[in-house]
């Protein structure tokens, strides 16, 4: 950040300089004015060293003027000399603690020096001194993120986007803050609470979203194994079973959910899907219109679940019947357009921000007028918007049961910010921490997607923003949207290396290996020694069992980033193992063994040891493989930011 690129800060420096002259005796004022004029002119032509020299000489004349120290600090900041900037800004803040610029840049420059926790109090004070400037909360959001406080970061970024809704970088920071909190929640749920029903249920949900239906079913079974399963566990499992074409088993799960009187809205959605997959389109449409009438937002937000559970033919039948009934006014207005958009096979991931609730500091301030309404009845009848609106204004004072109800209702109606804030309160209480982390993970995942989409819309002409969004979608395994973002970046900047590599990686992960190799080779034509591009080419050829073709690319990958070195060794091990070079393969696999998260590397080592006749080493490797596989199966991570072990994590 260069302060002098802002006309506002240039004006501030000029004004401060004039004010500084007022306190100087007449015999020195002319000299001071000359120095200040020289400093301004030097700064305007970006000669910050000369400007700093003038400010130092001015300080010799008037060392008690805080503004002069502040301006000197700004010049050091522009020069990249952050240690000296902090010294000057600290003196300015000592002389006049109410000055905004020293506090702001003490925070920013401490961030530059990776002192996030030191930066926070300066930025908090800066925001209090000038609550109308979005730069302080943007920097504060970054500081909290570096310090590992995802919730503090998201709160700060929300204040920033409220002040400056057109700042794409603030929206991007907000999205990353939510992903950071999802990551934090995942670590706690899969660590401290790894055996809880909430952890297993969340794992099942996310594995289902990723299309890993066998693993998802296993996680749901674990979530249902104990007494009193969490609401929607049976219904969620039923939807997975429907996608696996296990119709009778799915119906049994929906019946169990319905019989539990949990009020789970996925039950009705599941029955609608059940009707549709059995070609009972009329009853399926009837269930969907009933859901729509109760809460249209819930159905809109749930369309991806419906889309993944029915075939293209079943979708076409549904839309045809819906249009016929709409023509005779039997279908509510807006229903057909919404489901038609949401059920497209290539529909992008979208999450509405229209229902996002108020700022965290505002919730709970409004007094609730007396009412006979019962929010629990709203929930049970599928009227989640009414339930959420009834409760959200008292969020800060709600009791545990009502907080849980609010988190559920707000989430199902698409007000993910309110759901997140209610979940945060639940998570802050040891007795309700697990359920709070569960809802916070769900809501923050949705919020991350929504605000990142907003960031891309604002900075639509920024290749860097599209690459960053592509990286996020790729980490979330949303391959289609990742590919789309990378292609947007390449349209704007065809030679963008990160965009081209990201596209190739996404295509590879999406099993489009020929397209991936073509994109990767475009990179290699420009730079045949690109280590990451060579590594990816090697991995693609190995995927196609073309080991001889893979080897020369892998040999050019020695300069890959450190995090990819274990993967390089594993791939070389595969090449050697499949070209009868057993000892070389074992050497490579040993170097990759520390990155073996699922036992696959140890399994290959065991097979090679068998070839050499080393039975003991083979047995030990098989045992290690089993242990790693069991650990992997038991702790199937649902961290949205988890990376694969391959070049795909680039």
Say which CATH number the domain at 573 has: 1.25.40.10
28 with 175, same domain?
Answer: yes
Kindly state the tokens that stand for 257. 């959910």
* Neighbouring C-alpha atoms within 13 Å toward the C-beta of 368: 17
For 87-114, write each residue's pLDDT tens digit.
999 999 999 999 999 999 999 999 999 9
Q: How confident is the model at residue 17 (pLDDT cuts 50, 70, 90)?
A: very low
34 with 150, same domain?
Answer: yes
| String of DSSP letters for 200-235 | HHHHHHHHHHTT-HHHHHHHHHHHTSSSSPPTTHHH
- Report the domain count for the chain: 3
439 with 583, same domain?
Answer: no
Residue 170, domain member (yes or no): yes
- Residues in CB range of 286: below 8 A, 6 or more apart: none
38 with 154, same domain?
Answer: yes
424 with 568, same domain?
Answer: no
Residue 93, domain member (yes or no): yes
Mean pLDDT of the 503-507 span: 94
- Average pLDDT of the chain, as a whole number: 88
Residue 50, domain member (yes or no): yes
26 with 171, same domain?
Answer: yes
Answer yes or no: is pLDDT of 436 > 60. Answer: yes
Residue 610, domain member (yes or no): yes
Residue 597 is classified by DSSP as S
| String of DSSP letters for 236-279 | HHHHHHHHTT-HHHHHHHHHHHHHTT---HHHHHHHHHHHHHTT
Helices H, strands E: what count in the chain? 34, 0
Kindly state the tokens that stand for 433. 């921490």
Nearest to 442 by CA among 459, 456, 422: 422
Cα(389)–Cα(323) distance, rounded to whole angstroms?
32
Domain boundary among 155, 187, 219: 187
Residue 217 is classified by DSSP as H
Kindly state the tokens that stand for 430. 């040891």
Residue 621, domain member (yes or no): yes
Q: Residues 115, 116, 122, CA angle at the centre, nearest 5°? A: 100
168 with 24, same domain?
Answer: yes
Residue 512's CB is within 10 A of a number of other CB atoms, namely 16
Mean pLDDT of the 358-377 span: 59
Domain boundary among 160, 187, 214: 187
Answer yes or no: is pLDDT of 471 > 70. Answer: yes
Nearest to 110 by CA among 127, 92, 122, 99: 122
Q: Is there a contact between 472 and 179 (Cβ–Cβ < 8 Å)?
A: yes
Answer yes or no: is pLDDT of 256 > 90. Answer: yes
Cα(174)–Cα(527) distance, rounded to whole angstroms?
35
Task: Name which of 407-416, 592-601, 633-642 the model is least confident about.
Answer: 633-642
Q: Calculate helix-pair angle for 135-146, 116-129, nearest 10 degrees.
A: 160
**Tokens 């923050």 belong to residue:** 444
571 with 428, same domain?
Answer: no
Answer yes or no: is pLDDT of 81 > 80. Answer: yes
Answer yes or no: is pLDDT of 7 > 80. Answer: no
Give the pLDDT of residue 365: 47
Give the pLDDT of residue 348: 55
Coil, helix or strand at residue 244: coil
Give the pLDDT of residue 628: 86
- Compute φ and ψ for 442, nearest 5 degrees: -65, -50
Kindly state the tokens that stand for 423. 């979940």
Coil, helix or strand at residue 226: coil
Residue 270, domain member (yes or no): no
Residue 255, domain member (yes or no): no
Cα(581)–Cα(39) distance, rounded to whole angstroms?
69
Give the pLDDT of residue 371: 54
Answer yes or no: is pLDDT of 369 > 60. Answer: no
Domain boundary among 187, 207, 233: 187
Give the pLDDT of residue 530: 94
Could you tell me the sign of the dihedral formed by the alpha carbons of 253, 258, 260, 266, in that order?
A: positive
Q: Residues 399, 401, 407, CA angle at the centre, nearest 5°? A: 100
Q: How far is CA 515 from CA 57, 469, 518, in A?
A: 63, 21, 5
Mean pLDDT of the 605-627 span: 93
- State which residues form the domain around 569: 560-650
Tell which wins on pLDDT, 618 or 5.
618
445 with 576, same domain?
Answer: no
Tell which wins on pLDDT, 259 or 195.
259
130 with 13, same domain?
Answer: yes
Residue 473, domain member (yes or no): no
Could you tell me the sign of the dihedral formed by the alpha carbons of 310, 316, 321, 325, in that order?
A: positive
Mean pLDDT of the 402-409 span: 96
21 with 158, same domain?
Answer: yes
């Amino acid at each position: 950040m260069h302060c002098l690129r802002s006309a506002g800060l240039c004006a501030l420096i000029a004004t401060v300089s004039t004010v500084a002259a007022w306190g100087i005796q007449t015999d020195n004022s002319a000299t001071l004015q000359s120095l200040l004029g020289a400093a301004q002119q030097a700064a305007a032509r970006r000669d910050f060293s000369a400007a700093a020299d003038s400010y130092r000489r001015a300080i010799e004349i008037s060392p008690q003027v805080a503004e002069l120290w502040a301006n000197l600090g700004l010049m050091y900041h522009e020069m990249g000399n952050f240690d000296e900037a902090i010294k000057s800004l600290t003196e300015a803040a000592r002389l006049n603690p109410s000055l905004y610029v020293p506090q702001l840049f003490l925070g920013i420059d401490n961030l530059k020096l990776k002192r996030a926790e030191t930066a926070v109090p300066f930025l908090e004070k800066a925001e209090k001194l000038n609550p109308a400037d979005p730069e302080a909360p943007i920097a504060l959001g970054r500081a909290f993120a570096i310090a590992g406080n995802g919730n503090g970061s998201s709160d700060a970024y929300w204040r920033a986007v409220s002040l400056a809704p057109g700042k794409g970088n603030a929206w991007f920071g907000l999205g990353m803050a939510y992903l950071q909190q999802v990551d934090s929640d995942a670590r706690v749920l899969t660590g401290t609470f790894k055996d809880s029903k909430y952890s297993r249920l969340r794992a099942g949900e996310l594995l289902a979203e990723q299309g890993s239906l066998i693993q998802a079913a296993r996680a749901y079974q674990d979530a249902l194994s104990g007494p009193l399963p969490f609401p929607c566990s049976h219904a969620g499992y039923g939807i997975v079973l429907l996608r696996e074409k296990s119709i009778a088993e799915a119906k049994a799960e929906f019946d169990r959910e319905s019989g539990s009187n949990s009020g789970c809205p996925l039950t009705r959605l599941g029955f609608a899907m059940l009707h549709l997959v059995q070609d009972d389109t009329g009853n399926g449409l009837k269930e969907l219109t009933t859901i729509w009438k109760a809460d249209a937002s819930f159905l809109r937000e749930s369309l991806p679940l419906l889309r993944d559970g029915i075939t293209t033919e079943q979708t076409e039948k549904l839309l045809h019947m819906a249009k016929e009934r709409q023509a005779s006014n039997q279908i509510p207005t807006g229903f057909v357009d919404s489901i038609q958009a949401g059920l497209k096979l290539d529909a992008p991931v979208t999450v509405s921000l229209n229902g996002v609730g108020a700022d965290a500091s505002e919730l709970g301030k409004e007094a609730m007028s007396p009412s006979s309404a019962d929010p629990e009845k709203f929930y049970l009848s599928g009227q989640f918007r009414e339930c959420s609106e009834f409760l959200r204004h008292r969020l800060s004072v709600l009791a545990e049961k009502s907080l849980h109800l609010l988190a559920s209702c707000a989430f199902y109606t698409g007000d993910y910010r309110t759901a997140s804030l209610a979940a945060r309160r639940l998570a802050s209480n040891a007795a309700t921490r697990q359920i709070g982390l569960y809802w916070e993970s769900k809501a923050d995942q949705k919020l991350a997607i929504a605000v990142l989409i907003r960031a891309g819309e604002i900075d639509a002409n920024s290749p860097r923003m599209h690459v960053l969004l592509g990286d996020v979608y790729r980490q979330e395994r949303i391959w289609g949207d990742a590919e789309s973002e990378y292609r947007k970046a390449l349209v704007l900047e065809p030679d963008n290396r990160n965009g081209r590599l990201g596209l190739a990686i996404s295509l590879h992960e999406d099993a489009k290996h020929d397209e991936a190799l073509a994109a990767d080779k475009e990179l290699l034509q420009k730079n045949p020694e690109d280590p990451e591009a060579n590594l990816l080419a090697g991995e693609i050829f190995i995927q196609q069992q073309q080991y001889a073709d893979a080897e020369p690319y892998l040999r050019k990958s020695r300069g890959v980033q450190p995090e990819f070195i274990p993967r390089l060794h594993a791939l070389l091990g595969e090449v050697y193992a499949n070209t009868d070079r057993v000892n070389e393969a074992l050497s490579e696999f040993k170097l990759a063994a520390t990155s073996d998260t699922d036992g696959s590397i140890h399994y290959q080592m065991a097979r090679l040891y068998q070839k050499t006749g080393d039975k003991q080493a083979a047995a030990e490797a098989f045992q290690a493989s089993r242990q790693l596989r069991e650990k992997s199966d038991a702790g199937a991570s649902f961290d949205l930011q988890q990376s694969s072990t391959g070049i795909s994590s680039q």
